[in-house]
Each structure stands twice: as structure tokens, then as C-alpha cells.
Structure 1
Amino acid sequence: MTMKLEFPLLGLLAARSMTGYDIARWTRVEGKFSGLDRHPSQIYRLLSRMETEGWVSHVVDPRSTAPDAKVYSVTDAGFARLLRWVHSVYSPPRRFQDPEFIGRLRIAAMVDLPRALQLLEEELEARRRQVAENRGRDRGEDHLSEAARPEIDVHALALFADELNAYGEAAIDQWISWLERMHDVITQQLAQRAEQGATEQGTIEQGAAPSKSGSSERTGR
């Protein structure tokens, strides 16, 4: 699944205004861990198109010792587009740790925590089902009694296949463990916010309610 680069960029600019150079540096350093490493020329072309579409705008930051810089920010239209993407249907692909999921989760966490929790639940369900369907499957093609050609080392083939399979199982187990931990973290955050909201609402209601003595004085009792 290929994620459009415009959405991570809109997410970056929704959090803080940045120059094109700052964005290119982020994609080069941080983006490489989530499949977003891009050449600077691609970043600048995309920023220009996004500005034409009305999703971002820029102001010029004068520099005394360097060329003036364009500082980009997300417009209301751009933020609305970002929210539509975050809330659009997510279909987990066969490959886990997909860049689109990571991008959606990152942005959902900062704009809509319940949506982030929903994304985690959808991804968890898909990966648990993937493990249930594939763990312990017949792997006879990796364990041959003899090969079609005498040059093939069937013992080395089996050893490599077993190690690779063990690595894959450990990787998806670790991914599921991280998803479960994030699910717990966000669930706790939502519970704390709900409790805080209830406390604040109770305080407001107490402050708005007239006291009995004040009520008696106003009625002449």
C-alpha cells in the first residue's frame, strides 16, 4: 500500500510551521524509518502543488545572512483534507508495519485519540488473524529429502528457512506486543480525560447552583 506523501506533510505542518528545508531534513532523517525518505526536489514540487490546491500557505521569513525562507503552514482546507484521510476506511495490508498505518496512527494520535484507538484495534485484529492462519503451517517445501539438482544443499536450505521463519514470527509477535501496549496507553489516556472532564463538569455545576441561603434571601424567606 502506497501512502501519498501529502498526508504526512500536512500532518507535520499541522503540528508546526516549517520551511521546505526543515521538511526535507525531516523526511531524510526521521522519514527513512517509516518509508518517507524523499529527494528534496520532490518535497518542493509537492509543496508548490499543495499551495496551488489551497492546502498550505507560506510567509517569507527574511534572513540577513542567507536567502529568505518560505515558512509553510496548513490552511483550514488542508487540515480538513487531513482529517478526512485520518477518518477514511483503513484496510490493513498483508505486510505488517505498513508506512500508511504508522502515518495514520501518528496523525490520529494528535488530532483524534479515539480514532487512533480504533486504528490500533483494526490493526491488532488483522495481525492476530494473520498469526492464527499462518503459525504452524506446513513448510514441507523448505525441508526436502533430496533436491532436483545435486548442487543444492537441502540441509542448508532447511536451516536458512527455519531461521528466516523464526525471525518473521518474532518480528510480528513484537509488532503485536507494541500494538497492545499502545492500545493500553491510549485507553488509559482516554479514561483519564473522561474522568477529568467529569470532575470539571461537576465543579461547573456546583458553581452554577445557587446556595440555599441565597435562594431564601431572594424569596424573602
Structure 2
Amino acid sequence: MKLELPLLGLLAMRRMSGYEIKKWLDSEGQFLGLDRHPSQIYRELNRMQVDGLIEFDVENGRGGGPDAKVYRLTAAGGGRLRRRIGSAYDPPKRFQAPEFTCRLLFTSMLDAPRALALVRQELEFRVGQVARNRGRDRGVPAGLEPGVDAGRLRFVGEELHRHGMAAVDTWIDWLRRMEAAMGADGWEDAS
């Protein structure tokens, strides 16, 4: 996933320095599947500034530390973010992908109906994905190379499958809970 969406979303929340962005990505961002090296963050911030999506002010000695560039969205950056969260969502094959989790977070703060639609789309896709794949043949293929232990291959393959089924089932349960909570009265006022 490109870093632009999370950076636009973070700066739509509040003004932040590059250091604060990196701290956020290291803590909250890990739950969204975002792990970026500081050089990637600063390179993207520079590109976004050149493209007119963000601006910065230099704040002297914030909290007793060194001077810091503190970034904020421009009108163009806000427009880009709104277009991005309003664009069509194509669920990736892998569930819990950063494209969904990041998009949900930033869509929820700006467009509650669109966030609910996003959850419903993801839920429908995952339920269909499970229906298509749950009962498929997972047997060990014929013609294994010499030295391959079919029993261990079968055992570990089945354990990985069970783990994957449990994980996707948990994801679907979470999506259903989110759909119920987001569809409830007062979603816009949730805190």
C-alpha cells in the first residue's frame, strides 16, 4: 500500500511532525499493517509537499527538543484524501490487508455512511471467499519428490488451514460486530 493515504489521514486528524508520524506508525500503525522506515516517511512527506498536498511550519525547540517541521494538509491534500476514501474499494485476496484497515480508520472519521458501506463490502467479500474455499480438496498431491514426508506435509498443512480458518472466522465476526455498531443510532457520536 502506498504511504500517501495514511499520511493524508494522519494529517487530517491533526498537525504532526515527521517524528510524531513515525511514532504513530510504530504504535497504532502496527495494527493497520503499516511498517515504514523513517526515510520512506520523509521521502513521501517531501513528495507530498512538492505536490501541494501538505505544508509545514518550522516550530522552534518543541518540548525542549530540536526544531521540527510540523506538517498539515492543504485544501488539495484534503480533497485528495476525500477522493481516495470515496473511490471504489476492491477487496484484496488477503484479509486484514492494510488497504482495508487504513482506509476504514480514515473513512470513519470523515464519512460515516461510506465507512459502514466499506465494512459491509468487506464482510460480503469475505463471507463469499469462505463459501468458495472452505470445502475445497486439501489432499497431498500425488507424485511427491523423494524425501518429502507426506504425513508431515499433510499434518502441517491441515494445522495451517485450521489456523487460517479460525483467523478468517474471527475477522468475519469482527466485521459483523463493526457493522452492527456502525449501523446503530449515534454512530456519528461514537467515542
Q: Give the alignment's TM-score, normalised by structure 1.
A: 0.79
Correspondence for 1:183: 179
Correspondence for 1:204: none
Shift of 1:18: 0.6
Correspondence for 1:129: 128
* Contact 2:57-2:71 at 8 Å conserved across structures: yes
1:135-174 equivalence runs, <5 A: 135-141=134-140, 147-149=144-146, 151-174=147-170
| Per-residue CA distance 1:170-197 (angstroms, 9 max, x = gap) | 0100000000000011001xx3369x9x
Of structures 1 and 2, the one with the larger relative CO (CA 8 A, separation 6+) is: 2
- The one-letter amino acid paired with 1:21 is Y
Unaligned ranges ≥5, structure 2:
none
1:68-217 equivalence runs, <5 A: 68-141=67-140, 147-149=144-146, 151-188=147-184, 191-192=185-186
Runs of 4 or more consecutive aligned structure 1 residues displaced over 4 Å after TM superposition: none
- The one-letter amino acid paired with 1:42 is Q
- The one-letter amino acid paired with 1:165 is H
Shift of 1:71: 1.0
Give the aligned CA root-mean-square deviation in angstroms: 2.0
Identity of matched residues, %: 51
- The one-letter amino acid paired with 1:138 is D
Residue 62 (1) aligns with residue 56 (2): no
SS in 1 for 2:186: helix
Q: Give the alignment's TM-score, normalised by structure 2.
A: 0.91
Check 1:193–1:30 CA distance in 2 against 1; reply closer, same or farther (3 A cut): closer
| Per-residue CA distance 1:59-106 (angstroms, 9 max, x = gap) | 121118432111111111101100000000101111111110111100
- CA distance in 2: counterparts of 1:51 and 1:180, whole angstroms: 39
